[in-house]
Amino acid sequence: MMKKIILLSLIISSACYRPAAQDTLPKFSVKNVGNNRIIISWKNNYQVVKQISIQRSFDSLKNYKTILTVPDPKNKENGYVDTKAANDNMFYRLFIMLDGAMYLFSNSKRPVFDSSQLAAEQKRLLDPFSVDVNKPMKDIDSTLKDNGLDSRNKPNIFVPSMYVYTARDGNIHLNLPDVISKKYAVKFYDENDNFLFEIKNLKEQSLIVDKTNFYHAGWFKFELFVDEKLKEKHRFYIGKEF
How much is the pLDDT for 145? 52
Strands 51-57 and 206-209: unpaired
Share of the chain above pLDDT 70, in %: 72
What are the tens digits of pLDDT across the range 24-46? 899 999 999 887 889 999 999 99
- How far apart are the C-alpha atoms of 63 and 1, rounded to whole Å? 31
- Give the N- to C-terminal CA distance of the chain in Å, as an integer: 26
Q: Strand pairing of 51-57 and 91-97? A: antiparallel
Q: What is the pLDDT of residues 160-202, one digit of tens each?
A: 888 898 887 788 989 888 888 889 999 999 999 999 999 988 8
Report the mean per-residue pLDDT for the chain.
77
pLDDT digits 0-9 by tens, 3-15 = 555 554 332 323 3
Supply the pTM of this predicted model.
0.45
Residue-wise pLDDT for 72-98, tens only, equals 888 888 888 888 899 989 999 999 999
Supply the pLDDT for residue 150.
47
Q: Which helix (H) or strand (E) holds 174?
A: strand 172-175
Domains and CATH numbers, the chain: 3-15+136-238 (2.60.40.10), 29-116 (2.60.40.10)
How far from the centroid of its chain's Cα atoms is residue 117's Cα?
A: 16
Q: Which amino acid, one-letter code, is at 185?
A: A
Going by their DSSP bridges, the two strands 206-209 and 3-5 should be labelled as parallel
- C-alpha triplet 55, 74, 16: angle, nearest 5°: 70
